[in-house]
């Protein structure tokens, strides 16, 4: 079992590891082990944290970290303290087999509830911070309110939810109650177009940042108008190769999980490179960042499914810890 992403047609620089792809989500007839009831929270116990193919990531206002990883035939959401102790966890069973581990997006709303883009099940879900299921919406399809492999989501200060509907090549925006507000569609790599959007985040001013697996980073206005496109394939600072996640800090700086370049890039809100970070790994492993989140204190958390770890950076890029 390994990282899972839809195939992209963008070229990959020589010597870099290409993210695998199995858009069908698995083989027919594969057995799925029985898991706990949907959304059933497990007892909150402080234990040493452990991850298997972590993908989704979010940080709440208290600095507690939420990580989505794999357990048997489903996804596990773990709530982790800032010093790496597990506080709670709950499971989401997969409703269809998956040969590889599908990514899962996480976001925290202003009420502290956890939103999940359930990639394998083509839906979005809301949970309390302790894992109580509050709502689920979606289903497989192309109509408004349906999804095909939604890889990421974000929530704004008004509790509106933005979903990177990856295989439908669009961003969908909803009210908290599910009422559709907007669809920013169209397939392509030019201004206003999406090509497998894999990460989305909304800033304090309402501007929305989207990363596409094909390479571009796009900045949108609150009504979806394209303000900028940073579309530079390559490995130099300010260039990207299969970016999979995006986050903002309180100053409006942009952090991109530049996956096939094996690094995190920090940029200004205008796309000017500020820093490039990487992380050490164990022998035989590599740094393949997937999703990224910034805590209120400036710490930056990055999931590295290739090494079954979460890397904790300081605000200046120093590696503070690696949680395995």
On whether the CB atoms of residues 170 and 160 are closer than 8 A, the answer is: no
What pLDDT is stored for residue 29 in this prediction? 31
What pLDDT is stored for residue 101 in this prediction? 58
187 to each of 30, 196, 310, how far by Cα in Å?
A: 32, 8, 32
What pLDDT is stored for residue 14 in this prediction? 27
- CA-to-CA distance for 211 and 18, rounded, in angstroms? 17
What's the pTM?
0.85
Longest Cα–Cα distance of the chain, Å, equals 49
Q: Give the tokens for residue 174.
A: 């909803």
- Distant-in-sequence, close-in-space partners of 167: CB < 8 Å, separation ≥ 6: 6, 23, 148, 149, 196
Per-residue pLDDT of the chain (324 residues; tens, 9 = 90+): 445 555 544 333 322 222 223 222 333 333 322 223 333 343 334 457 899 999 999 999 999 999 999 988 789 999 999 999 999 999 988 877 665 656 799 999 999 999 999 998 999 999 999 999 999 999 999 999 999 999 999 999 999 999 999 999 999 999 999 999 999 976 555 566 899 999 999 999 999 999 999 888 999 999 999 999 997 889 999 999 999 999 999 999 999 999 999 999 999 999 999 999 999 888 888 899 999 999 999 999 999 999 999 999 999 999 999 998
- CA-to-CA distance for 301 and 311, rounded, in angstroms? 6
What pLDDT is stored for residue 188 in this prediction? 55
What pLDDT is stored for residue 31 in this prediction? 31
CA dihedral 293, 150, 288, 261 (to 10 degrees): -100
Q: Give the tokens for residue 226.
A: 């394209």
239 to each of 52, 242, 253, 271, 317, how far by Cα in Å?
A: 30, 10, 16, 10, 19
Sign of CA dihedral 92, 95, 101, 104: negative
- CA-to-CA distance for 114 and 130, rounded, in angstroms? 9
Name the residue with tokens 């569609």.
185
What pLDDT is stored for residue 151 in this prediction? 96
- CA-to-CA distance for 201 and 247, rounded, in angstroms? 6
DSSP string, 97-148: --SSB---EEEE-TTS-EEEEETTTTEEEEE-TT--EEEEEE-BSSSTT-BS
């Amino acid at each position: 079992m390994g990282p899972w992403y839809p195939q992209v047609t963008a070229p990959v620089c020589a010597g870099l590891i290409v993210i695998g792809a199995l858009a069908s989500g698995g083989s027919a007839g594969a057995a799925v082990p029985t898991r706990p009831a949907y959304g059933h929270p497990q007892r909150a116990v402080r234990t040493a944290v452990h991850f298997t193919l972590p993908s989704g990531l979010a940080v709440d206002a208290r600095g507690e970290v939420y990580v989505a990883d794999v357990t048997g035939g489903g996804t596990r959401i773990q709530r982790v303290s800032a010093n790496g102790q597990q506080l709670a966890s709950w499971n989401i069973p997969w409703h269809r087999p998956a040969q590889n581990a599908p990514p899962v997006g996480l976001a925290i709303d202003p009420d502290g509830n956890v939103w999940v883009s359930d990639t394998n099940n083509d839906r979005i879900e809301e949970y309390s911070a302790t894992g109580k299921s509050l709502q689920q919406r979606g289903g497989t399809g192309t109509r408004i309110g349906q999804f095909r492999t939604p890889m990421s989501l974000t929530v704004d200060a008004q509790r509106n939810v933005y979903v990177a509907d990856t295989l439908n090549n669009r961003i969908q925006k909803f009210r908290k109650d599910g009422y559709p507000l907007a669809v920013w569609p169209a397939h392509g790599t030019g201004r206003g177009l999406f090509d497998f959007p894999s990460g989305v985040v909304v800033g304090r001013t309402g501007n929305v940042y989207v990363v596409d697996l094909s390479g571009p980073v796009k900045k949108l206005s609150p009504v979806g108008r394209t303000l900028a496109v940073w579309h530079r394939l390559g490995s130099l600072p300010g260039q990207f190769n299969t970016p999979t996640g995006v986050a903002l800090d309180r100053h409006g700086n942009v952090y991109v999980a530049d996956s096939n370049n094996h690094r995190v890039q920090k940029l200004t809100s205008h796309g000017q490179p500020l820093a490039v970070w990487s992380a050490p790994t164990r022998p035989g492993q590599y740094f393949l960042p997937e999703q990224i989140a910034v805590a209120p204190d400036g710490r930056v958390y990055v999931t590295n499914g290739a090494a079954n770890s979460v890397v904790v950076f300081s605000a200046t890029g120093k590696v503070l810890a690696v949680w395995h």
